[in-house]
């Protein structure tokens, strides 16, 4: 628990025992941590249920593990008093050795160095997240969004939920629906390309999906018309982000061919699923309006998220204005260091947007962090003070933009 909590513990078993017999017992038991203010309530519940218990210690900000016991001879002895970080490093040794054989050794060695004494992420929310007004859910004039999926997509239901919470009317649309004319894009204000593993990534991430759109003139013409309509927006997440890059929707049109920025295999050589920290920079992205300078936790889950720019000039142009989401370290500084930057993207780039801000592609998953309980970690004071997850603002921004530009 101390290893995971990145803290110290002070344990005092406080009764006459044999230290070895007690500390290495395999009897059934449970250890819980609670706030001191809750102690009386917890003890009353346990007493009522006749469950035996003992208060054995406390957690500390000082990263030391201290075990004290009272022996059978009534002598108080300290059986362990050492640095938690040293013991955690020993405990992780086996996993470290296995990782060296399975992933890029350079990344694994960097991870061991970078997490040895990490302080933990420092989130910052410069705005007040709010729930969507109840009356908007009952509206019969909600903007329509097409949630586009393909064979192998798996993020569609989460995305539907996120946009619903933002006040949209959602439609589940497959590329086959477009091919067979069951639905057309001209009725939608937004198009969302979801995460997953379209066509099982057989041709690399999103390439099969991109081909199914690019090489079907009927479908491609619909997407082209939608892209250029001034009253539309689009979002691509993870696999959808990779798709938008391959389609040339970000950062801007007309690049094409070998110069087109895209997302390639992670530097670690493996699929990365982590609760990472990103910073939102000032940009034209409509979905990130009012979120500038936020430092937020968010899930990543991808094998090909390294932003690759074949043209250095284009990279420079994107870095200053069109790369609004960046991976940061525990000091909230943009980073390329692993594992804070899970894929090795230059300048910590986690997404790209179009110059007019209507089209946004990002590798991390805001739809998987749109509720506060979905966060992998959150400071206690933030849990108590937040009315809604900061990521909900993205989807509310999109709805407000649609209302202003109808």
Q: Is the pLDDT of residue 216 over 80?
A: yes
| Adjacent-strand bridge partners of 352 | 361
Structure-block tokens of residue 108? 């694994």
Banded model confidence at residue 351, pLDDT cuts 50, 70, 90: very high
Q: Which residues, 6 or more positions from 86, have their beta carbon under 8 angstroms from its beta carbon?
A: none
Q: Is the pLDDT of residue 363 over 70?
A: yes
Distance CA 87, CA 387 (A): 38
Q: Is the pLDDT of residue 16 over 70?
A: no
Q: Is the pLDDT of residue 73 over 90?
A: no
Can the peptide bond before residue 339 be classed as cis, meaning omega within 30 degrees of 0?
A: yes
The tens digit of pLDDT for each residue in 258-269 reads 899 999 999 999
Q: Coil, helix or strand for 320?
A: coil
Q: Where are the domains of the chain?
A: 2-84, 134-404
Q: Is the pLDDT of residue 6 over 70?
A: yes
Distance CA 294, CA 49 (A): 46
Region 145-154 average pLDDT: 96
Q: Which residues, 6 or more positions from 238, have their beta carbon under 8 angstroms from its beta carbon?
A: 155, 194, 195, 196, 301, 302, 305, 363, 364, 365
Region 18-33 average pLDDT: 84
Which of 265, 302, 359, 365 is the catalytic position?
365
Active site residue 367: yes
Query: For the chain, what is the mean pLDDT?
Result: 95
Q: Where are the beta strands (DSSP E) in 246-356?
A: 262-264, 272-280, 295-302, 306-308, 325-327, 351-353
Q: Is the pLDDT of residue 256 over 80?
A: no
Which of 111, 158, 272, 367 is the catalytic position?
367
Query: What CATH number does the domain located at 134-404 have?
Result: 3.40.50.880
Region 90-108 average pLDDT: 96
Distance CA 62, CA 65 (A): 9
Can the peptide bond before residue 251 be classed as cis, meaning omega within 30 degrees of 0?
A: yes
Neighbours of 312 (CB within 10 A): 8
Distance CA 305, CA 271 (A): 9
Which of 238, 241, 318, 402 is the catalytic position?
238
The pLDDT, as a whole number, for residue 14 is 74
Percent of the chain past pLDDT 70, that is, above it, reads 100
Active site residue 238: yes
DSSP code string of 26-41: ----------GGGHHH
């Amino acid at each position: 628990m101390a290893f995971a909590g990145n803290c110290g513990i002070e344990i005092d078993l406080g009764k006459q025992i044999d230290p070895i017999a007690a500390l290495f017992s395999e009897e059934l038991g449970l250890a819980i941590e609670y706030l001191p203010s809750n102690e009386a309530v917890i003890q009353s519940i346990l007493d009522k249920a006749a469950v035996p218990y003992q208060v054995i210690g406390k957690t500390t900000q000082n990263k030391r593990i201290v075990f004290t016991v009272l022996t059978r001879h009534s002598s108080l002895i300290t059986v362990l008093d050492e640095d938690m970080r040293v013991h955690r490093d020993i405990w992780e040794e086996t996993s470290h050795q296995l990782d060296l054989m399975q992933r890029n050794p350079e990344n694994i060695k960097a991870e061991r160095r970078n997490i040895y004494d990490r302080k933990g992420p420092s989130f910052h929310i410069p705005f007040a997240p709010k729930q969507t007004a109840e009356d908007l859910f009952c509206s019969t004039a909600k903007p329509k969004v097409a949630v586009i999926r393909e064979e192998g997509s798996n993020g569609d239901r989460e995305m539907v939920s996120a946009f619903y919470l933002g006040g949209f009317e959602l439609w589940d649309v497959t590329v086959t629906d477009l091919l067979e004319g069951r639905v057309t894009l001209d009725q939608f204000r937004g198009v969302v390309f979801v995460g997953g593993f379209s066509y099982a990534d057989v041709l690399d991430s999103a390439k099969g999906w991109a081909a199914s759109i690019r090489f079907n003139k009927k479908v491609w013409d619909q997407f082209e018309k939608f892209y250029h309509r001034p009253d539309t927006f689009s979002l691509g997440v993870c696999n959808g982000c990779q798709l938008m890059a391959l389609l040339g929707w970000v950062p801007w049109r007309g690049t094409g061919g070998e110069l087109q920025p895209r997302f390639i295999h992670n530097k670690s050589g493996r699929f990365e699923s982590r609760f990472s920290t990103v910073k939102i920079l000032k940009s034209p992205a409509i979905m990130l309006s009012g979120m500038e300078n936020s430092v937020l936790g968010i899930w990543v889950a991808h094998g090909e998220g390294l932003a690759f720019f074949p043209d250095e000039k284009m990279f420079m142009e994107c870095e200053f204005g069109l790369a609004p989401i960046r991976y940061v370290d525990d000091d909230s500084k943009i980073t390329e260091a692993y594992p804070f930057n899970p894929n090795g993207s230059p300048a910590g780039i986690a997404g790209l947007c179009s110059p007019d801000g209507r089209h946004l592609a990002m590798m991390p998953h805001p739809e998987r962090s749109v509720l506060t309980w979905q966060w992998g970690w959150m400071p206690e004071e933030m849990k108590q003070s937040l009315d809604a997850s900061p990521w909900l603002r993205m989807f509310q921004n999109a709805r407000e933009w649609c209302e202003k530009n109808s």
